[in-house]
Structures are given as structure tokens and as C-alpha cells.
Homo-oligomer: A and B are copies of this chain.
Amino acid sequence: MTDTAPHILVVDDDREIRDLLARFLTRHNYRVTTARDGVEMFRALDDWKLDLVILDLMLPGEDGLSLCRRLRANSDLPVIMLTAVGEETDRIIGLEMGADDYLPKPFNPRELLARMKAVLRRAQGLPRLREAENSGALRFAGWTLDGATRALTAPDGRDVELSAGEYELLSAFLDHPRRVLSRDQLLDLARGRTAAPFDRSIDIQVSRLRRKIEEDPKEPRLIKTVRGGGYMFTAEVERT
């Protein structure tokens, strides 16, 4: 699995963001290399066979837009731009910027994953559309979570309403079944933020999610509590 995993290059001058993305993407089974500016970026391009570049708009020296253009000029490597919120953004978005996709900061990590998948799929010329939408469905223990419509269907066929947060949390679990996920990890995966001390928002979200998907919330079978560790999704997950 690892040697077929797409190799992502993250170009950002903010060390914190580089690290965060590197950790996040590695967790999601991508290979990751980072660069802090255009020079390092082109060096990495020589050293590796890359699949996707995630490029910050604001960079020391040559800016991301210019780098994106140069990249585009001599390769068809897909590019996702990160744009800081603020003045320039609107205009750049209004007039296309030559990237395959863009994401305004601060972004939802799950959103980034979705865009990456879309861009990679497009770049590989693989069939999209219906197949892609279908492949967005996840099945577990008789339940079905449709990635396109965000609809959750119970084993008996009834639809269960999920709030956005509940959906993200459940998705995070389904992406990492049979693995203990700490509250920090879950918060990162589902919300893209880091936990403050005494932050128990995940506990509550878990509680609410259990109420909807567990037969007996008092004795959860799908989302187990790992005392001192976090939570673990125990069911088999199948992509259809």
C-alpha cells in the first residue's frame, strides 16, 4: 500500500502548517515531503516523483501564484493552492488562478482530503462521476453512510439525520476502524483543530453520535471507549 500511495509535496513557509499537514497526511496514508519556498520546491521536484503539490499562496521570495504558473508551464503536476483569508483572495478566486483547486485558510482537513482525492482522480484520468459517488459510500454493521449526500441509512432502511459535526466525527471513525483514536486525533480529524485543556467537546459529540447509531447507548458496540486512550470504532468498514 505504501509504495502506491500518492506522494504529496507541501510548500508553505509556516513550519507549524508544514508539520501539521505532514502529520495529518501521513496518518491518511500519503507520502509527504515539505518545502518552505520555491527553491526547496523545485529541488524536491527533481528528487522525487510527486503526485500533487499543495502550495501556499504567500511565500517568501517567489510567491505561490508565480510558482504555480511555472509548475504549470513545464509539467502537468496537479496543484492545490492554499489562500490565506484576506484582501487578495476574493479577486484571485474571482479570476481563476491556474491551480486545479484552491482552499481558503483556515481549512477543514477533511475538506483538503476530499479535494486531494478529486484532483488526484482527475489527474489520473480515472472514471469519475457515478462511480466516484458510489465509491463514496461506506458500509458498517448494516449501516450505510453515503459520502455524496451525507445520508446515513440504518440497517432497517430508515434514514438518520446527522449534524455536520456528527457526520465528520463518524467519517473520522470510519476512516480509521479498529484503531484507538485519542481525543486530540479525533478533534483534528473531524474539526481540524487542536484540543484545549479540559476540552470535552469530543466526548459530547461521541455521546450524541452513540445515541443515534448504537442500539443501546448504555452499552456501545460500535464506538468503544478506551479508558485513558480515547475511542475506537470496532466494526468492519467496507467501501462500496
Interface of A toward B, CB cutoff 8 Å:
20-21, 23-24, 26-28, 89-91, 93-98, 101, 104, 108-109, 111, 118, 129, 148-149, 164, 176, 178-180, 182, 184-185, 188-189, 194, 221, 226-227, 229, 234, 236
Measured between beta carbons, the chain B residues less than 8 angstroms from A179 are 101
Shortest Cβ distance from residue A159 to the other chain B in the assembled complex, whole angstroms: 11
Is B164 in contact with A90, judged by CB distance below 8 angstroms? no
Measured between beta carbons, the chain B residues less than 8 angstroms from A94 are 109, 188-189
Measured between beta carbons, the chain B residues less than 8 angstroms from A111 are 180
Measured between beta carbons, the chain B residues less than 8 angstroms from A104 are 180, 182, 185
Choice from B24, B96, B108 contacting A27 with Cβ under 8 Å? B96
Measured between beta carbons, the chain B residues less than 8 angstroms from A129 are 236
Q: A149 with B221: in contact, given A129-B236, A189-B94, A227-B164 (CB under 8 Å)?
A: yes
Measured between beta carbons, the chain B residues less than 8 angstroms from A149 are 221
Choice from B24, B89, B91 contacting A95 with Cβ under 8 Å? B24
